[in-house]
Structure 1
Amino acid sequence: MTAKRETRAAATARFAIGECSLGAILVAASTRGVCAILIGDDPERLACDLQDRFPRAMLSGGDPDFERSVATVVGFVEAPGLGLDLPLDIRGTAFQQRVWQALQEIPAGQTASYAEIARRIGAPKAVRAVARACAANPLAVAIPCHRAVRNDGQLSGYRWGIERKRALLDREAGR
């Protein structure tokens, strides 16, 4: 997903940064819905990442009303069984959209291999492209790319770190 594609419809975006057990978390929304959920160790780096994703957008932070959305996302991170009931503004290529839809169909606490996801979307030879679509996911936890694993079931590649991936899967499995 390129920043150019994302900025076409993102003239303005509100954002707020909070803390959760996985570190700092940034939630941003366009007028259509949540367009970014980013997790990391450095709140300033998350804000820079958001700016890089939406270089032409007018970003506004510090909105007390919007901070409720961050609280909702933090609640979901801490207790995935609560579900996440927020409108999403999911932007990506048609292929990415198919991958992300397949990820959302994997039940919480379960995983699927990149190869299995490729087969599910009708592109069995596109395993690496599936992995790239997971890496391009701007909506941590809302699009559960943490549920994608290697063929042998082992954890690999997670944009926000393997330990965060493991923690999310453990929470979903009730561990």
Structure 2
Amino acid sequence: MPMIFMGGSRDIFELPPHAIERICAIVAAEHGVLIGDAPGTDAEMQGLLAGYNYEHVGVFHAGAEPRNNLGDWAAYRIPPPDGAQGFAVHAEKDREMARRADFGLMVWDGASPGTCLNVLRLAVIKNPCVVYDTMRGTVSTVHNTVDWRAMLYHAGPDVRCDVEAHMSVDERLALVE
């Protein structure tokens, strides 16, 4: 069963219609879904999947319990590194979902560094990711780091600096190769 890493920006509380259609196709094809527990896009996607009574979902979280698990699905705790704070608390669970995924589906506000880095994590291992960019009103598929750089270029210099500030050493090295 193909596994789809689904997620997006925490500031998005309404999924684009085309993303909803894509999620419906994932449900119809009975693909597995790997999703985080964050408010915003994760919770919106979980609500849609729960509305379908969809069973093939795993919720990944860093805390003792998921912040959101709207379908009461299997939950996978990926603990953060010792001393992790802020952004770093959730980054390891995102890396694990990318490792387990065959494909990605992200809804991005054109600014969220976490969502952008999740697309990079998939691009590095050459797993395609459909990106719904709500800021620009576009849909694209990122297949590799060249595509990812193009996506980031359109986001602007402030977003690029924020994304770079949140990259791990391994993610930086993957862009050099």
Q: TM-score, normalised by structure 2?
A: 0.29
Q: TM-score, normalised by structure 1?
A: 0.29
Between the two structures, name the one with larger relative contact order (CA 8 Å, sep ≥ 6): 1
